[in-house]
Amino acid sequence: MSANDPALLRSPLHEWHIKHGARMVPFGGWCMPLHYTSIIHEHRTTRSAVGIADISHMGRLRFEGPGAAVFLAELITRRVADMVLNQIRYSFVTNEEGGILDDVLVGYYHDAYGQPFYVMVVNAANRTKIVDWVHRHLPPERAERPGHEVLFADVTALWAMFAVQGPRAVEVLQPLVDVDLHDMKYYHGAQVRILHPAAERQGGIISRTGYTGEDGFELSIGVGIAQGVWEAILDLGEPLGMVPTGIGARDTLRLEAGMPLYGHELSEDVNPFEAGLGFACHLVGYDFPGRDALKRIQSQPLGRVLVGIELDGRRPAREGCTILADGRPIGRVTSGTYSPTLQKPIAMGYVRPEYARPGTSLRVDVRGHLEAARVVRLPFYSRKRKGKSQ
């Protein structure tokens, strides 16, 4: 599939990206910018200053009504009933076997009338699958029961979404919104008014979340004001060194931060415990699809676990490369790159548990060359963030 395929979805900023020299590529069913200048430049600018990425391809699903909290608790692996206002949680949607259908963020907010609602952010390539899964578990008779109504909508096409990431993200965004970003905790958000003529004080949702390992925010706003707000953010950020960034830098940044990517570290053939993400599974209380399977998995030895790997040479390992120990295959690489920050090849992959201890010597078959490597703790890179709850 090429970037010109008419079947691909387009961001509200599609024409802006092309006008400003972005290299466009297919990604998750969308046509998205890979980079504007270079992946390394955009990566390093995000680490040292601030970058902005168009992430409008991410799916946004809204749940409201008196039955929304119970419905979500019976759909995902993480509790929602004890969330406080404006809190966000990382969770999974799992199949009956405990395999991961998607990893999601769920935020809890109140509308202008004080009525609660939830927003679930899903991966672009999984949006249709998750929407179908929601409908499958939301039978009409339940939705119509008085006091248990659940109103569900896929609002992806109505919103644009931006990620402003880097140590200077607060400086860039604070003049644009009517909430104090300095005191906002990680994995929390707020409804805001956009204080810029391009937005005419329209509202949006901002959250202290991201996929880079840096401090930063994600902002969801109406598509009608998307380009005006995007350009306003760039104007505010230019004196601080801000650049637009594509999905190429987004991938290298998330890999340095040890963050899994669906279709690589996560899939329907992987369960959360193998991925080292068991914290996002609450197995007591509500009965969601896959809960019983996950209980069984939790009580049994794992056959594989996700690890970080550093390679000694200069060749980066890529997805599918065989991982060896003692001359025998013991796993496969799921993601790999040359780290612009660490200036060495890094990778993640699944190995047998007995080879998962940090410091364990490995070999990785990189295009027929057996490269020396070792297991390291994840993440490869971390920066202290405000707050700690997920």
Instruction: Say how far apart CA 112 and CA 210 lie, in whole Å.
Output: 26
pLDDT over threshold 50, residue 245: yes
pLDDT band at 285 (very low <50, low <70, confident <90, very high): confident
Residue 275 has pLDDT above 60, yes or no: yes
Domains and CATH numbers, the chain: 1-300 (3.30.1360.120), 303-390 (2.40.30.110)
Instruction: Provide the pLDDT confidence category of residue 161 given band limits of 50, 70 and 90.
Output: very high
Burial class (CB in 10 A: 0-12, 13-18, 19+), 11: buried
- pLDDT at res. 385: 46
Report the C-alpha gap between 375 and 138 in whole angstroms: 44
Other CB atoms within a 10 A radius of the CB of residue 303 amount to 10
Q: Is 90 exceeded by the pLDDT of residue 317? A: yes
pLDDT tops 60 at residue 290: yes
Pull the structure tokens for residue 5. Answer: 């395929």
Give Cα 76 to chain centroid, integer Å: 16
Longest dimension (CA), the chain: 65
User: Please, are residues 94 and 79 in contact by the beta-carbon 8 Å criterion?
Assistant: no
Residue range 319-346: mean pLDDT, rounded: 97
pLDDT at 3: 85
Assess whether pLDDT exceeds 70 at residue 12. yes
Residue 386 pLDDT > 80, yes or no? no
Confidence at residue 389, expressed as pLDDT on a 0 to 100 scale = 45
Please state the separation of Cα 388 from the chain's center in Å. 17
Specify the pLDDT at position 388.
44
Residue 91 has what pLDDT? 98
At 143 the pLDDT is 47
CB contact at 8 A, 136 and 143: no
The rounded mean pLDDT for the chain is 95
Q: What percent of the chain has pLDDT over 70?
A: 96
Residue 140, sorted as left (phi over 0), alpha (psi -120 to 50) or beta, turns out to be alpha
Say if pTM beats, i.e. exceeds, 0.85.
Answer: yes
Beta-carbon count within 10 A of 297 CB: 21
Res. 390: pLDDT tops 80: no
Residue 108 pLDDT more than 60? yes
pLDDT at residue 141 greater than cutoff 60? no
Confidence band for 144, pLDDT divided at 50, 70 and 90: low
Give the contacts of 171 (CB within 8 A, at least 6 positions apart). 50, 240
The whole-number pLDDT of residue 139 equals: 60
Res 201: pLDDT = 83
Confidence at residue 347, expressed as pLDDT on a 0 to 100 scale: 98
In eight-state DSSP terms, residue 211 is: S
